Amino acid sequence: MSEGKLEQPKSTQTTCRVLEDYQAAYPEPIVVRAGEGLVVGKEDPEYPGWIWCTDKKGKGGWVPDDCIERTGGSAKARYDYAATELSASAGEELIMTKEKDGWAWCFNRSGQSGWLPVANLERENTN
């Protein structure tokens, strides 16, 4: 790990099934690049570890706390991040590649990807 940089969420591949329909709440998610300035807001009370941030264009979204580097009164992104959510239907099979504070980054069979709440997913048995 380089000084001043944190690792992104651990990446693995796990097959899972969607337990109930999930509709993405933010169709135009915040996307930040490493080093980009952020205005930091409040932590999500339902999902601790996620902070509401606004970029220089005024677009807001939930950003993982470890992505935010705070220095004095300012903040910037530590790594590239997109708050893209993935809409999914109950019973749909997905590939989960990383998990972060109650959310999982998943891919569907069409190649679309995004975050879903872990509580909406059931990991497939690997035995």
Residue 45 lies in a domain: yes
Reported confidence tier of residue 7, pLDDT bands at 50, 70, 90: very low
Statement to judge: residues 43 and 70 lie in one domain = yes
Statement to judge: residues 21 and 35 lie in one domain = no
User: Which tokens sit at 44?
Assistant: 């999500």
Residue 1 lies in a domain: no
pLDDT in tens, 8-62: 445 578 999 999 999 999 989 999 999 999 999 999 999 999 999 999 999 999 9
Statement to judge: residues 50 and 62 lie in one domain = yes
Residue 2 lies in a domain: no
Statement to judge: residues 102 and 72 lie in one domain = no
Residue 75 lies in a domain: yes
Residue 4 lies in a domain: no
The predicted structure's pLDDT at residue 3: 38
Statement to judge: residues 77 and 92 lie in one domain = no
E strand segments, the chain: 11-18, 31-32, 37-43, 50-54, 60-64, 68-71, 74-77, 81-82, 93-100, 103-107, 113-117, 121-123
Residue 69 lies in a domain: yes
Statement to judge: residues 76 and 93 lie in one domain = no
Statement to judge: residues 112 and 75 lie in one domain = no
Q: Choose among 57, 102, 103, 67: nearest CA to 84.
A: 103
Pairing of the two strands 113-117 and 103-107: antiparallel
Range of the domain at 98: 11-25+85-123
Secondary structure class of 66 (helix, strand, coil): helix
pLDDT in tens, 69-108: 999 889 999 999 999 999 999 999 999 999 999 999 999 9
Distance CA 122, CA 93 (A): 10
Q: Which CATH number fits the domain that encloses residue 107? A: 2.30.30.40
For 43, residues 6+ apart whose C-beta sits below 8 A from its C-beta are 49, 50, 51, 52, 65
Statement to judge: residues 40 and 78 lie in one domain = yes
For 49, residues 6+ apart whose C-beta sits below 8 A from its C-beta are 43, 64, 65, 66, 100, 101, 102
The number of folded domains in the chain is 2
